[in-house]
Structure 1
Amino acid sequence: MKAVITGTGCYIPKVKKENNKFISNKFLNSDGTAFNSFNTEIIEKFKSITGIVERRYAKNDYTASDLGYFASKKAIENARINAESIDYIIVAHNFGDVKKTGIQSDIIPSLATRIKHLLQIKNPNCVAYDILFGCPGWVEGVIQAQAFIKANIAKKVLVIGTETLSRVIDKHDRDSMIYSDGAGACIVESVETDIETGILGHATQTFSKDEAYHLFFGNSYNKNEDENVRYIKMHGRKIYEFALTNVPQAMKVALDKSNIDIDEVKKVFIHQANEKMDEAIIKRFYRLYKKPVPKDIMPMSIHKLGNSSVATVPTLLDLVLKGKIEGHNLQKGDIFILASVGAGMNINAIVYRY
């Protein structure tokens, strides 16, 4: 009995916001003082570090649960299953449903319940719940799905990552240019087979002694704004250093558990947070095995889609599986790694044979 991803789907919002749309923003330091640089310089430096050229935002009347529903429908169709046969719906997010004009999140009922409602699943034995695990939430949901399947608690699990980060960003914070909206989903099924396929190994860690508040909610950098309204904030340099130190190690633990040689790995799908950070993580990962980084090992979507938190990895996987990222594809039997890092600080990785 193997835990196998039998269908994937994603929803990429239609609203594009290019870097030049931030040219009139009044960016401020955390203490409220103005930058000495012009916005053109700030934006160009931002692009050189993150790789982001544009990002996607949800339409005003859509929430995170709507985006998750759209991605779920595609995953269910791709897996060719009846939605009523789903045993669990696991939804990873961080901020719930935030309306375009809202100032707080809405998570009652849970997003999983809302998506189950939108899918019109009648079966009461289809259990729906949310997980809050930072950006690695979707990857962790897949790990939980495998646990349910191994324990014979479930046969089919729908795992969704959905977020509308554009609703929780401070326009005076230059980091606001990183974030975007989107959703990705997959069906994880129990498959009876003698072939070594599906999830081969995984690893998860939470660092909270000194790292718990690397990502947090805080006030606008504009001291004149309502102090009751709060936004996503981060200590970028600390996160960068943390990720470079710890993510390659977690990936190595997962790979070593799977008994797969690193030379067999065809693709590595890393959370799309920062182009330079992801490239550095890959270099350090291969350095642990004293190997050079193979060409085209790491597909990326951040340039056009930005950082949609829990949605980046499932979206990237879906795009590659469906041949929508030039130069990247997977064949049956190929080994790939899924890895993410985010608020908590949490890290996880999965080794998977397609």
Structure 2
Amino acid sequence: MIRAVVTGTGSALPARRVSNAELAETVDTTDEWIVERTGIRFRHLAGPDETTATLARDAAFAAIAAAGIAADQIDLIVLATATPDQTFPATATKVQAMLGIDDCVAFDVAAVCSGFLYAVQVADAMIRTGIHRRALVIGAETFSRILDWEDRTTCVLFGDGAGAIVLEAQESAEADGRGILATRLHADGRHNGLLYVDGGPSTTGTVGKLRMKGREVFRHAVTNLASVMGESLALAGLDADTVDWLVPHQANARILDATARKLGLSPDKVIVTVDQHANTSAASVPLALDVGVRDGRVKQGDIVVLEAMGGGFTWGAAVIRF
């Protein structure tokens, strides 16, 4: 069988790192209030010369270098973002040009915080068909550009950044071979009003600002994430005891704890970066994965579960033998 194997990871963060204390100088909040409710201590905010595309480019170069390949060996780019550089063309095509790739399939996926999981499933399916050999899957965001900085309940939660992986088609006759073992995605558009941006080209003609009903989102997140992780493990023929690492969407430390408990996973098996990066939407899962790979926790052969939930609602999970 052909499997999509992760051969490289990379990430990128804006130069400016903002602490809760610095944020409290302009926003009616405190470090204690933010940490107690979210676990967040820092976030990175994009400067004038940093965009979703430039962050995606830097994460992509790091992943390509880790995979030990040349950029022009990539034949598919799937970029997940809710904050593209332009309404069109796709930010993925800008990244393609920045990488110096003359021709490859390149497009964006929009599923907000779940976007990276959606992009992983799309790339996995395209690789399994045999049409593509090497895919670059990216999650990149500049959420600071769509925040209402007068709304202390939302602006303290988010940050900017990018993460990327290289997926390579590899043939395997072994059931315990490396690669993506299973993915599972969901969406339920009835919950649009709980987490959304109040603008768009065909409605207001403006970008709009993020709006969220936090308590309702929290309740849905814990239930949906535990459920979809169970589904994806069942599809892979595994159970929670076999999981080496859970790499969750970094939205809120309390959501991470509650989800791990529902799945019966030890906190020691959860990679947490929300304290350092805040919620970077589609970038949060690949950012956290890259941290776990580069500090030596995630090793070849490990069973890794990725999960996320975002506006829409959309949610999903992937099981990977790394």
Fold agreement, TM-score > 0.5 = yes
Residue of structure 2 aligned with 1:201, choices 164, 174, 182: 182
Report how many aligned residue pairs link the two structures. 313
Q: Distance in 1 between matches of 2:130 and 2:319?
A: 21
Deviations 1:184-229 (A, max 9, x none): 01111101233422111111000112x122211238xxxxxxx967
Cα 1:3–1:128 change in 2 (3 A) is: same
Q: Distance in 2 between matches of 1:83 and 1:350?
A: 25
Aligned partner of 1:252 in structure 2 is: 230
How far 1:24 moved relative to its partner? 3.6
Q: Distance in 1 between matches of 2:76 and 2:207?
A: 35
Letter in 1 for 2:168: E
Partner of 1:352 in structure 2?
320
Deviations 1:99-156 (A, max 9, x none): xxxxxxx23221011000111111x3x1110010111111211111110011112111
Whose Rg is larger? 1
Instruction: Report deviation, 1:96.
Output: 1.0
Higher helix share: 2
Q: Distance in 2 between matches of 1:218 and 1:21?
A: 27
Query: 1:151 corresponds to which residue?
Result: 129
Q: Deviations over 1:323-350 (max 9, x none)?
A: 1xxxx71233211100000011001001
Other structure's SS at 2:57 match = helix
Are residues 1:306 and 2:278 paired?
yes
Q: What is the rounded CA distance, in whole Å, between the counterparts of 1:314 and 1:117 in structure 2?
A: 22
What does 1:42-57 correspond to in 2, within 5 Å?
A: 43-57=31-45
Identify if the C-alpha distance between structure 1 residues 62 and 338 changes in structure 2 by more than 3 Å, giving closer, same or farther.
same
Residue 240 of structure 1 aligns to a residue whose secondary structure is helix
Q: Is the 8 A contact 2:77 2:135 kept in 1?
A: yes
| Structure 2 residue 308 is the aligned partner of structure 1 residue 343 | no
Q: Within 5 A, what are the aligned runs for 1:236-315?
A: 236-286=214-264, 293-315=265-287
Q: Over residues 145-197 of structure 1, what are the superposed CA-to-partner deviations in whole Å (9 max), with x where a residue is unaligned?
A: 11001111211111111101111111111110111000001111101233422
1:58 equivalent in structure 2: 46
Kindly state the Cα deviation for residue 295 of structure 1 after the two structures are TM-superposed. Answer: 4.5
Structure 1 counterpart of 2:94, which letter?
R
TM-score, normalised to structure 1, is 0.85
Local SS of the residue matching 2:40:
coil
SS at match of 1:200: strand
Change (3 A) 1:179 1:313: same
After TM superposition, the structure 1 = structure 2 runs for residues 94-133 of structure 1, keeping only pairs within 5 Å, are 94-97=82-85, 106-122=86-102, 124=103, 126-133=104-111
- Whether the 8 Å contact between 2:146 and 2:207 is mirrored in structure 1 is no
Provide the C-alpha distance between the structure 2 equivalents of 1:160 and 1:22, rounded to a whole number of angstroms. 28
Cα distance in 2 for residues equivalent to 1:332 and 1:116: 28
1:12 matched to which residue of 2?
13
Cα displacement (A) at 1:305: 1.0
Q: Once the two structures are superposed, what CA deviation does each residue of 1:300-332 show, in whole Å capped at 9, x if it has no partner? A: 111111111111110111111111xxxx71233
Show structure 1 runs of 5+ residues with no match. Answer: 28-38, 98-105, 220-226, 287-292
Q: Which amino acid aligns with 1:205?
A: H
User: 1:212 corresponds to which residue?
Assistant: 192
Letter aligned with residue 186 of structure 2: Q
Q: Deviation per CA, 1:237-284, whole angstroms, max 9, x where unpaired? A: 111011112110000000011111321111100000000011111111
Return the alpha-carbon distance in structure 2 between the equivalents of residues 121 and 303 of structure 1: 35
Q: Is the 8 A contact 2:285 2:306 kept in 1?
A: yes
Residue 103 of structure 1 is matched in structure 2 by none
Matched, 1:182 2:161: yes
How much has 1:26 moved relative to structure 2? 5.2
Percent identity (aligned): 32
Task: For 1:251 and 1:295, locate their aligned partners in 2 and report how far apart those are by CA, in whole Å.
Answer: 16
Residues 2-33 of structure 1: per-residue CA shift (max 9 Å, x gap): 11011111002220111112224354xxxxxx
Q: What's the counterpart of residue 202 of structure 2?
A: none
In the superposition, relative to structure 1, how do residues 299 and 120 fare at CA in structure 2: closer, same or farther (>3 Å)? same
Structure 1 partner of 2:148: 170
Q: Which runs of 5+ in 2 are unaligned?
A: 200-204
- Asked whether the equivalents of residues 34 and 41 of structure 2 are also in contact (C-alpha less than 8 Å), the reply is no
Work out the CA distance in 2 between the residues paired with 1:240 and 1:198: 31
